[in-house]
Amino acid sequence: MLNFLPQFSGYLPLWTLLISLTAIFNTFQNFLTLSLTKQIYNAKPEQVTELSSRTFAVWSFCSAIIRFYVAYNINIESIYQLGIWTYVIGISHFTSELLYFRSANIGPGLLAPIIVAGISLIWMINQYSFYVNKNIKNE
């Protein structure tokens, strides 16, 4: 079973795989129900529609695919950078919903993705040179 896990040193590839699998769960739940998404956008839950939930599901699945590739190809610079961008986009989205659009209030539904994205983003930036060898063209 361990052979199916990313074969890189450190915990970042395993963490990235875990976050990818979590995003896949989020994809399915967004296709099946509005309840968890309404916990994120709790200031304006009436704006969470079946269409917006499905759109959120597609975003979640796209980020899951990118993060899955990062977990198994963490040494490839362009893939690593795409992984970083998924967290930048996620933090930007959730922060804008809190501060600008005001569709979300601070609570577990909003804090969980912001904390996970923030930790992941900082971790990826800090470990960039450990996983990506800039002296070798990896692509």
- Cβ atoms of 118 and 90 within 8 Å: the answer is no
pLDDT tens per residue across span 38-74: 999 999 999 999 999 999 999 999 999 999 999 999 9
Query: What is the pLDDT, as a whole number, of residue 3?
Result: 87
pLDDT tens per residue across span 4-13: 999 999 999 9
Amino acid at 61: F
Q: Which of 59, 58, 51, 37 is nearest to 103 (CA)?
A: 37
The count of residues in the chain is 139
pTM for the complete prediction?
0.91
Question: Is 139's pLDDT higher than 50?
Answer: no
Query: What is the pLDDT, as a whole number, of residue 134?
Result: 60
**Residue 119 corresponds to which tokens in the numbers above?**
């930790």
